[in-house]
Amino acid sequence: MPFSLDKAADCYDVIVIGSGLGGLTTAKRLSYCGHKVLLLEFHHQLGGLATWFKRKGHIFDVSLHGFPYGMVKTCKKYWTKEITQSIVQLKNIVFDNPQFSLKTSFDRLDFTALLNQKFRIPQTTIDRFFATVAGMNFYDDQTMTTRELFEEFFPGRSDVHRLLMEPITYANGSTLDDPAITYGIVFSNFMNKGVFTFEGGTDKLIGLMTEDLERNGVTICTNAKVDRIIVEKGKVRGVEVGGRTITAPAVVSNSGITNTIQDLAGRDAFSTDFLAKADAIRVNNSSCQVYIGLKPEAAIEDKGDLLFTSTAPIFDSSELLDLHTRSKTFSIYYPKTRPGHDRHTIVASMNSRFDDWSTLTPEAYDTEKQALIERTLVDLNRYFPDIEEKIDWLEAATPKTFNRYTLHTRGTSFGTKFEGLAVSRSIFKEVGGLFHVGSVGIIMSGWLGAINYGVIIANDVDGYVRSL
């Protein structure tokens, strides 16, 4: 069990601020390397956006949805066997929009067949497209956009663009105008073997990770909000938290990169050149969600695990972000999600802009939130008629909700755009001992991206601490 702050010592090798999947993984790797690690989380629960909450017997998963098969290898190497063994495939991914309706296992084999037979794309084009995206690296040229990539291979085919782009927009908040590599890398990860989830839910995963950290000797404190990262003479000295000073030669912030620079370390700690790069970072969009719990006795037909739905005539990145978007994903959690916990929950997710919600008056905010729930129910009724009679819990979250729980700048649920990656990776060259881990650059986001980035940063930290 995590402690309160008074149990923490005065001095550590490394302090990790924030317990998102990136922060948790960095803490795990550094303790494995033999460092004395303190993990501080402002919330009472660990996990960051990999979170859940309980209402009326339901457990709602906020960001479980689905991740690529790469999680198996990653969890096997950096976490535990028990975590790895709980990863299971989601076989039924559904698309339903005015251009097409189909069900797929969302892997290369099935997508190749769909593109060839349903969308009539020549086999050679499909093969060339897959080879192109599979060959993409994060350090490649970024001048080509995803829109240009699609136009090159599937000119004028807005239906194909939608099939390829819509799920990735929900997975990492990227748009047609972002660098093609941010699309290609994430899409290829999914196409490897399909979409996977964590059986037992987010609470089980975070519980297992917490146990593993404790076994490795990491001190974990919750309800511990760091006020400031102390920087002296260009180097990190520790943190101020709950009226205490705790020292360490290295501090890893799993707070947002913008929060880390502006709020935690403070602008004074950085050079003008570095601040210019930091100020140019665009945070990604936020999300809206509607959480729907079904009565204990209610059963619904299996209509698929992830439903990418839209009534908009064509795919348009800005339509997906609109306050009144007609596009949303339904993550359907059948009882199989949590064996033994015999309930159905449905989470509707939409991408959303913070400013659209933060500028509303309190009355208008409540009205819009209610309208969001109503629209979601209308859409859900198309797949599950009479669903309203089966519901016993309804609740919505907006970008303001995401901001409140994660403290992320403008409630971003997908970190930053591409330029955030270079700033995040180089921050320790600017302030000795200061590191950042978290969703940056679109690629290092999602559950798999966050965990892998945690490993990459742990390597930087270990190298730094051992060189002192």
Partner 1 sequence: MTRDEIKDLILEIIKDIDEDADFDTLQSDLPLRDQLDLDSMDFLDIVMELRKRHKLQIPEADYPQLASLTSCVNYLEPLLKNI
Residues that bind partner 1 (CB under 8 A): 29, 33-34, 74, 77, 452, 455-456, 458-459, 462-463, 466-467
Question: In whole angstroms, how close is the CB of 34 to partner 1 at the nearest point?
Answer: 7
d(CA 73, CA 39): 25
Tokens of 337: 């999600």
Question: In whole angstroms, how close is the CB of 284 to partner 1 at the nearest point?
Answer: 23
Smaller CB distance to partner 1: residue 382 or 466?
A: 466
Angle between helices 446-467 and 70-78 (to 10 degrees): 30
Smaller CB distance to partner 1: residue 289 or 452?
A: 452
Smaller CB distance to partner 1: residue 190 or 315?
A: 190
Smaller CB distance to partner 1: residue 126 or 181?
A: 181
Question: In whole angstroms, how close is the CB of 249 to partner 1 at the nearest point?
Answer: 16
- Of 65, 67, 39, the closest CA to residue 209 belongs to 39
By the 8 A CB rule, do 108 and 131 touch? no
User: What are the CA-CA distances from residue 429 to residues 104, 350, 355 (Å)?
Assistant: 45, 37, 33
| Strand positions, DSSP E, 353-428 | 391-397
Question: In whole angstroms, how close is the CB of 388 to partner 1 at the nearest point?
Answer: 46
Smaller CB distance to partner 1: residue 168 or 457?
A: 457
Q: What is the DSSP letter of 416?
A: B
Smaller CB distance to partner 1: residue 372 or 444?
A: 444
Smaller CB distance to partner 1: residue 30 or 320?
A: 30
Question: In whole angstroms, how close is the CB of 365 to partner 1 at the nearest point?
Answer: 43
Smaller CB distance to partner 1: residue 84 or 125?
A: 84
By the 8 A CB rule, do 302 and 89 touch? no
d(CA 364, CA 357): 9
Question: In whole angstroms, how close is the CB of 14 to partner 1 at the nearest point?
Answer: 15
**At 124, which amino acid appears?**
T
**CB burial of residue 48 (10 Å; 0-12, 13-18, 19+):** buried
Question: In whole angstroms, how close is the CB of 121 to partner 1 at the nearest point?
Answer: 28
User: What are the CA-CA distances from residue 350 to residues 118, 253, 310, 353 (Å)?
Assistant: 27, 28, 11, 10
Question: In whole angstroms, how close is the CB of 218 to partner 1 at the nearest point?
Answer: 17
**At 180, which amino acid appears?**
A
Which contiguous run of DSSP H or E holds residue 209? helix 201-215
d(CA 174, CA 415): 11
